[in-house]
Chains A and B, each alone.
Chain A
C-alpha cells in the first residue's frame, strides 16, 4: 500500500541576513493512512519547519534545498500555489499552539468555520451556518447553536483549541498536523483536547502528525516516533521500541530527562554524567521547627462595575476570592510543592508570601515574625527580606534587559549585602556564578545574548546571593527545554543541600514535584484540596481532583 505522506531526504534552508541557515537536513519518513506519527525534539530541532514545508506555508525566506515531499502521490515541492490552496484545509490541515491567538479576534467563531466550509465548497451560503453548528457539535462543544455567535475572547483556552480543531477537521482532511497543540493549556484540558483529537482521527481513519517537545505526550498518543535534533532525524522507531530500547545517545538523554512516575532526580541526567551522589537531606524528623507558617490566608479582589457593587454594605459586595482561607507549614530544610492548574491561586499565594502582594487577611509567620501585616516598605528594609527570596518563572521577563548578567546577580548584594568594595562584589558574583554553573566569561552578556538555561541560572544566582533561608520557586523550569530542566532541577537540589535552604516549589507539573519535594499541597479554586507526604499523596490520592490531575499525566500507550 502506498504511503499517504512520503518525505525523502528533505532539506530546508532559510536565507537570512547572516547567510544561509540549514533548518532541516536530510529528513526522511513516511506515513500511512490511519497512522499517528510523533515528531519529538527540543527548540531549534526543526520539527515545526518540516511540517510547515509539507503544507508549503513556510516563511518567504524558506525554501526546499534538497529532497522531496509528496502527499498522496503529488509532489508538494513543485506544486503550484493554486493546487496547494486546494490541498490546504481540504486534504491536509493544521492545528497550532496558542489557540486564542490562532483565531481571528474580531470574527465570530461560527463564521470562521463557515469561511473554511464555503472555501472548499463543502457548504453553500444557505446551509453554511447549519453545517458550522454541526462541526461544533462534533468537537463536543455544548450549546453549539449559541457558541456559534461567540468571539474568541469570550471562550476559555480549551474551548478555543476545540474551535481550532473544528476548523482543521471541518472539511474532513486525510492528514492532520498538530503543532504543539497543548501549549498554554492546563494539564486536565490538555488531556481532554488530546483525547478528542485521537478519537476524531481514529473515527475518520485519518493520518496524524503530532509535533511536540514532550516525549511522554508523544508516547501516549503516537504509534511511531521520530526524534529530531538540530534539523536531523537521530532516531526513528515505533513508540514501544524507542522507549524500551533507545539507540541514539540523544534519544537516551531525552528519555531520561523526561520526568516519570518513578526514578530519582539524578536519573534525569544522562547516564554518563559525573555528579556526586545525592546528599540525603531529610528534614529533622517529622514536626521540626517551621520556617514558614501560613494560617487562614485570604486574598480578595472586588468584582468591578456590576450594579451590586453599589450595595451600601461593604460586606455584601461581591468579591472574587483568589485565595480562600488556606493554611500550611513549610518546615526548615523541607521542600514543599504547591501544585495546581491555572487560576487555582498558587501564584497569588506565593506573591503574598514574598510580600509583593498584600493579603486581605490571615497570618504569615516567617522565621518567628508575623509578616502579613507589615507594610511592604517596612519589610523591604527589614533584615528578614534577605532571608526570603524568589526564583521567577520566565527567565526572559525576570531579567532587566539593560543589565548584564553580573549586574543582575549583584543587584540584591548592592542593596542589601554588607559588602563594602567593588572588588568584594565582583568576587562574590563570580563565586555565585560558579556555584550555579554559569560560565564566568558570560557574565558581561546581556539577557538577549544568553540561552534559556543560562538565564535561569542567572535568576537562581541572584536569588541565593544574599543567603536566603527560604526560597520560593515559581515554576522555575516551565519555560525550559526538558534536558535543560533536568540539569537545573539537579542544580536546585544540590544548592538546597549545600546551602541549607528550604524550598516552596510552585508548579503545575506533578511529575517534577514528585522528584523534588518532600511534601505536596494541591490547590484548586483558591482552596487547598489535599496536602501530605509526596509519596503518599501521589500514590494514594484522597481527593478526586488530585486523582484527576494524576490521570491527566500522559502515560505511554504501549504499557
Chain B
C-alpha cells in the first residue's frame, strides 16, 4: 500500500510535466500572435528600421516557426525571458525582484482568508438556521458579487480618507522608512529578523489593507465550499454510525467530519488560487503595490510585450506548482487515491 502511494506521488509530479509543456507552447503562441510584425513590438515604439532588424535576427524571428519554438525553449532553459524595453533590464531579473512583494501579499491574504472562512463555514454547517448561518450566507452572496478593485477602493475611502486609520495606499513602505535587509523578500519578516520593530510595524500597516481586500475576495468561495462540504459530510451515513456509537461531538466533528470535508475544500483551493492570482493584479494596481501584477500593468501601458509575456509565463508556472502541491496534499489525506480498484 505504501509503495503504491509513492508511485502515486511520483505519478502526480510526472503529470505536471506535460502541463508545463502545454503552458510553454501557449506562452510561445501568445508571443507570436501579435498582429503585425512581432519584431517591431519587441524593439519598442522608438526603434529604427535597423534596430528592428537586429531584434528580428537576435530573436530568430526570421526563421520558421518550429525553429523559433526551439530557440524559445532554449532561452527559457537558461532563464532568458528577453529584455524589458521600459526598464532596460532582463525580464527575469525584474520578475525575480518584484515577486516577493506579490508573494507576501498573497500568502498573508490567504492566511487571513482561511482563518475566517474555515471556522465560519464549519459553524454555519453545525448550527444551521442560526444567525451565524445567515451571516455566512450573506457574506458568501455579497462576496462573490463584489469586484475586488471596488472593495479595495471602498476600504481605502473608509479607512484612509474618512477614518484616517489606514496609511496612504502607496506601496509597501512609507518613504520615511528604509526597506529592511533582504532575507526572504517579505518586508515584515525581514524587518523582524533584523530586529527593527518600527519598520516591521510600518510594513505590516501597509500590508493590512491590500491583504484584507484580497482576503475578502477569496473568503466567499472558501466559506461557501466549507459550509457545503461540512453539510454534506454531516448528513452522510458514516457520521450517523459514529453518533450511534456514542462518539463525542468533538471527535465526530473534527476527526470524522472535518477531515472528510477537507477533500472537496482542498480541491476548491485550486480554483480559488486561480482567481486569487488574477485578483492580485487588480489589488496591486489599487494600492500601488510593487509586485509583478503592477509590473505587468505598467508594461501593458507602454506595450512592453516581453515583460507582459514574462509575467504570464511566471504566473502560470507558479500556478502549476501550487496545483501540484494541492494535489499532493489531497493524496496525503485520501487513501483511496492511487488504488486501481
Within 8 A of A (CB), among B244-296: 244-248, 251, 255-256, 259-260, 263
Instruction: Give the docked Cα–Cα distance between A214 and B339 (Å).
Output: 36
Cα A104 to Cα B262 with chains together (Å): 14
Bound CA span A55–B245, Å: 10
Known: A98-B237, A101-B237, A153-B336. A106 touches B245 (CB 8 A): no
B residues near A105, Cβ cutoff 8 Å: 238, 260, 336
A151 interface residue, CB < 8 Å from B? yes
* Contacts A57-B243, A119-B245 given; does A101 touch B336 at CB 8 Å: no
Separation of A116 and B255 alpha carbons in the complex (Å): 13
B259 CB contacts on chain A under 8 angstroms: 106-107
Q: Are B340 and A87 touching (Cβ within 8 A)? A: no
Interface contact A120-B255, CB-CB below 8 Å: no
- Asked whether any CB of chain A lies closer than 8 Å to the CB of B37, the reply is no
Contact residues in B for A103 (Cβ distance below 8 Å): 238, 241
Decide if A119 touches B237 in the complex (CB within 8 Å): no
For residue A59, give the distance in angstroms from its CB to the closest CB of chain B: 9
User: How many residues does chain A have at the interface if contact means C-beta atoms less than 8 Å apart?
Assistant: 32
Smallest Cβ-Cβ distance to B238: which chain A residue: A104
Q: A153-B336, A153-B341, A305-B340 are in contact. Are A119 and B248 (CB under 8 A)?
A: yes
Q: Is B135 an interface residue (CB 8 A)?
A: no
- A96 on the interface (CB 8 Å rule)? yes
Query: B130 CB to closest chain A CB, in angstroms?
Result: 12
B182: Cβ under 8 A from any A Cβ: no
Find out whether the CB atom of B244 lies under 8 angstroms from the CB atom of A89.
yes
A94 adjacent to B246 (CB under 8 Å): no
Q: Encode A294-320 as 1/0 by CB contact (under 8 A) with B.
A: 000000000011000000000000000
A57–B252 CA distance with the chains assembled, in angstroms = 14
Decide yes or no whether A40 CB sits under 8 A from chain B.
Answer: no
Verify A94–B244 contact, CB threshold 8 A. Answer: yes
B61 within 8 A of A: no
B-chain residues with CB within 8 Å of residue A440 when the two chains form the complex: none
Number of A-B contacts (CB under 8 A): 80
Q: Do A116 and B340 touch across chains, with their CB atoms under 8 A apart?
A: no
Is the beta-carbon distance between A88 and B243 smaller than 8 angstroms? yes
The docked-state distance in angstroms from the alpha carbon of A96 to that of B333 is 26
Q: Is B62 an interface residue (CB 8 A)?
A: no
Residues of chain B with a CB closer than 8 A to A371's CB:
none
Bound form: Cα–Cα A103–B244 in Å: 12
Quote the shortest CB–CB distance from B62 to chain A (angstroms): 46
Min Cβ gap B93→A in Å is 45
Is A85 positioned at the interface, with any CB of B under 8 Å from its CB?
yes
- With a cutoff of 8 Å between Cβ atoms, the chain B residues found around residue A305 in the complex are 340
Question: Is the pair A96, B237 in contact by a Cβ cutoff of 8 Å?
Answer: yes
* Minimal Cβ-Cβ distance residue in A for B260: A106
Q: Are A116 and B336 in contact (CB under 8 A)?
A: no
User: Complex Cα distance A88/B255, Å?
Assistant: 18
- Asked whether B237 lies within 8 Å of A116 as measured between CB atoms, the reply is no
B30 to chain A, nearest CB (A): 36
With A107-B256, A115-B255, A119-B251 known to touch, is A90 a contact of B237 (CB < 8 Å)? no
User: Per-position contact with A for B300-341: 1 when CB-CB < 8 Å, else 0?
Assistant: 000000000000000000000000000000000111100111
Q: How far is the CA of A89 from the CA of B247 in the complex (A)?
A: 8
Select one of A57, A86, A106, A116 contacting B240, CB under 8 A.
Answer: A57
B20 interface hit (Cβ, 8 Å): no
Q: Say yes or no: is B236 at the interface (Cβ < 8 Å to chain A).
A: yes
- Across the interface, do A93 and B339 meet the contact criterion of CB distance under 8 Å? no
Residues 160 to 201 of chain A near chain B (Cβ within 8 Å): 164, 167-168
Interface presence of B242 (CB below 8 A): yes
Q: Identify A116's interface contact among B1, B236, B247, B334, CB under 8 A.
A: B247
A363 CA to B341 CA in the complex, in Å?
31
B334 touches A96 (CB 8 A): no
Considering the chains assembled together, what is the distance between the CA atoms of A105 and B256 in angstroms?
10
Instruction: List A contacts of B243 (CB < 8 A).
Output: 57, 88
Residue of A with least CB distance to B239:
A104
- Chain A minimum-CB-distance residue to B256: A104
Task: List, in ascending order, chain B residues with CB within 8 A of A167's CB.
Answer: 241, 245
Q: How far is the CB of B132 from chain A (nearest CB, A)?
A: 16
B contact residues around A87 at 8 Å (CB): 246
B333, A106: Cβ atoms closer than 8 Å: yes
30 contacts between A and B (CB under 8 A): A55-B244, A57-B243, A85-B248, A87-B246, A88-B243, A88-B244, A89-B247, A93-B245, A94-B244, A96-B241, A102-B237, A104-B242, A105-B238, A105-B260, A107-B256, A107-B259, A115-B245, A115-B247, A115-B255, A119-B245, A119-B247, A119-B251, A151-B335, A151-B336, A153-B335, A153-B336, A153-B341, A167-B245, A168-B245, A304-B340
A interface residues (Cβ-Cβ under 8 A, vs B): 55, 57, 85-90, 93-94, 96, 98, 101-107, 115-116, 119-120, 149, 151, 153-154, 164, 167-168, 304-305
Beyond A106-B333, A153-B335: 13 further Cβ-contacts under 8 Å?
Answer: A55-B244, A88-B245, A89-B244, A89-B246, A98-B237, A105-B238, A105-B336, A106-B259, A107-B256, A115-B245, A120-B246, A164-B241, A167-B245
